[in-house]
Each structure stands twice: as structure tokens, then as C-alpha cells.
Chains A and B, each alone.
Chain A
């Protein structure tokens, strides 16, 4: 359940930003999470209420943009959609690749009041 650590990391970021901006609470938080980032979205939703309880994120709307995986083949430079980390290049079948999208784990923005 590293999703708890992730959620608490998000809480820390929000608490810091609220303090900096001299505001009281977060109304909306938008996250960008890659499909290959290793986050189980059900787990994140499950622990979210307990993680944000009594913090500036309590009651905030949570929006998650899921970013699909994308890779560039290390052999033929073909750019392809990556569903699993172990997928091979559909053009040349090589497993050598650089992952260009899908590993994101970011707080994109906050709406605070």
C-alpha cells in the first residue's frame, strides 16, 4: 500500500502551498498520474479519505488525469503506445525502449480559498 505514502506526500505538498499562499483550504486538486507509475487507482481512492482527514485537503475535489504509457524503441526509434512495461516494439519486436510517458506522478494544480 505505497498509495498511502503517495497520498500523504500529496497532503504535505498541499499543506505547504496553502501556508505559502496564506489560504485556508483546498477546493480542488488536480493530479497527473501515469498508467505505468505503479499506482493502483482503487487503492488511492480507498485510502484518500483517511489520508486527507483533518488536513487542508479534507473535502477537496480530487481530479486525476491518467496519462497513458508511451515508449520509443531503442532499436528502430518507433514511437508506440505502451500498455505494459514489458511490451515489445510492434514494428521490430525489440524489448529495448525508453519510456517517454506514463510514469508521471504530479500535482498539477490546486484551487485554494
Chain B
């Protein structure tokens, strides 16, 4: 879907790139323009057609006849269709692929700056000799995060969502196809930094991990309940800063458990490595 200009065609404004290939961006932009023009013309055509028809029948009461006309010819389509159905279908497709190949897929979500990429980097450095990892990075712009992962020699694909505020399952589907993941690997999907929108979009992941840092305020779970409600794991990052902060971690947990009583916590510092072993243990057990 196009978050850039509001047109309905899919994948516009979104680029899916590996740091190793940097060429296809402009190509996409051109395809984008074409699509736009096309739908324009199409609709105009339909409009004028309708009007001609009218004028022949009721020349005088144009406004009136308009409503009459619609009453006579209107058709009701009963749908009851889920608006997110397309996303759910593609998510199911991803899930089936992950299951068949024994891939454990994690959707990492948080607000910007809570340390998703740092936790990811540290995890990859510490575990890459034991487990095979693949990474999908979601950001609105830049390959910066993918470059950080690429520097560790981990296969990575960057999805740039343009103005889009979250990853959707069809983007992940395309990225997964490019990654060509080995069986029994761990796939880390780092979502766009945003505590609201990604909560609604299932990517087909096995587990959703929400990261919150000690600098963010203990009432975040009830301010942004949807994300905590849909997550399985909550990582509390930057615990090395606790001595300098006025935050009560127990209160934060209480709030989070009110939203989601099944939430499991890890308290870590990606900078010092404190608490990371418990997280690794969980990761390896799953």
C-alpha cells in the first residue's frame, strides 16, 4: 500500500534492499508514477459515462433524478470482510513457510531509541557461532541499521517503508524470499520504531517481543496498551542507567501485567551485557 501519496496500489514507496545491492530504487519510483496516471484516466472515464446516461432521461431535475437513479439501481453487497484480511492471509503464508523450514521468527517492536538494534547487535555477536541468524530491518529511511548488521556478517534485508509507520506481512514475504533462509535458523524482524501502528499488523512471527527502556517512563504499557497486549515477551533495556533515573521497574511491570498477564520479562543492558544471558537462554530454548 502506498503511504506516500495515498493511492491504492501496492508496494509503492517501499523499497526492499540488501546492503549488497543498491540499484533498484529509482526503478521503483518510475513504476510508481505509471500506476498513478493509469488509475486516474480510468476513473474519469467511468464518471462521464454515468452523467451522459442521466441527461438523456431527466434533463430538468438534475439533482433529484440523481438520487432517484441510485435508488432504483443500487445493489447491496453484504461483505462482513475483515479489513486486515490481506495482511492476515500473507502472515499465514509467512507462518507456514517458517514452520516448514523450522525457522523461529521474532518481531521486535518498540518506540524509536529504546535499543532494538543494539540488543539485536549484541545478541548476534554473542550467539552467531551457536545459531544461524537472519535479519530483516524495517525503517522509514536509510540502510543504516542493515549496515550495522551487515558488518557482523549476518544476512540482512532492509525494508524502507517510506512514510509507512509499520511493516506489513507482504513486505516481510518479499524480504524473506530474498533472504533464502537456511532451515532451523532464527529470523529477527526489527519493526519500524513505533509503539502504536505495528501492533495491528501480524507478520506471521512466532513471538512478538516488545522492548522498553528505563528512560521511557513506567506508565508506557498503559499509555500504549495495544502493543503490550499483543506481545509475548517484554525486554526492559538500559538497566545500567537505573542509578541515575527516577523509574520504578516493579511499577512498570505491574502496569504491563495489567494489560497482558501472560507477559514474560527480561531486564537487560545491551551496553554492559547485564541480564542478556537469560534472554539468550530463552532464545535458544525456542
Contact = CB atoms under 8 A, between A and B. Distances in A.
A113 interface: yes
Contacts of B75: 21, 23, 111-113
B225 A27 contact: no
B78 interface: yes
Contacts of B86: 9, 12
A2 B8 contact: no
B6 A50 contact: yes
A62 interface: no
A17 B255 contact: no
B84 interface: yes
Nearest to B70: A113
A84 B255 CA distance: 13
A51 B10 CA distance: 13
Contacts of B69: 113
Interface stretch (B103-111, B148-156, B193-201): B193-201
A50 B75 CA distance: 25
Main secondary structure of the interface of A (DSSP, over half): mixed
A68 interface: no
A8 B6 contact: yes
B200 A2 contact: yes
Contacts of A65: none
Interface residues of B, number: 48
A10 B257 contact: no
Contacts of B80: 106-109
B2 A109 contact: no
What interface size band does chain A fall in? Answer: 35 or more
Contacts, number: 128
A3 to B, nearest CB: 9
Given A51-B6, A111-B76, A113-B75, A95 B258 contact: yes
A107 B80 CA distance: 5
Contact of B70 (A27, A54, A85, A88): A27
B50 interface: yes
A24 B70 CA distance: 12
A35 B53 CA distance: 42
Contact of B8 (A12, A25, A106): A12
Interface in A21-56: 21, 23-25, 27, 31, 37-38, 47, 50-51, 53-56
B6 A25 contact: no
B79 A5 contact: no
28 contacts: A2-B197, A2-B200, A4-B1, A4-B3, A6-B84, A10-B83, A21-B75, A37-B200, A38-B200, A47-B6, A51-B6, A51-B8, A54-B39, A54-B40, A54-B43, A74-B261, A85-B225, A85-B259, A86-B259, A96-B261, A106-B83, A108-B79, A108-B80, A109-B76, A109-B79, A110-B77, A111-B74, A111-B75
Interface of A: 1-2, 4-6, 8-13, 15, 17, 21, 23-25, 27, 31, 37-38, 47, 50-51, 53-56, 58, 74, 84-86, 88, 95-96, 105-113
What are the 7 closest A-B residue pairs judged by CB atoms, nearest first?
Answer: A2-B197, A85-B225, A86-B258, A8-B1, A86-B259, A50-B6, A110-B77
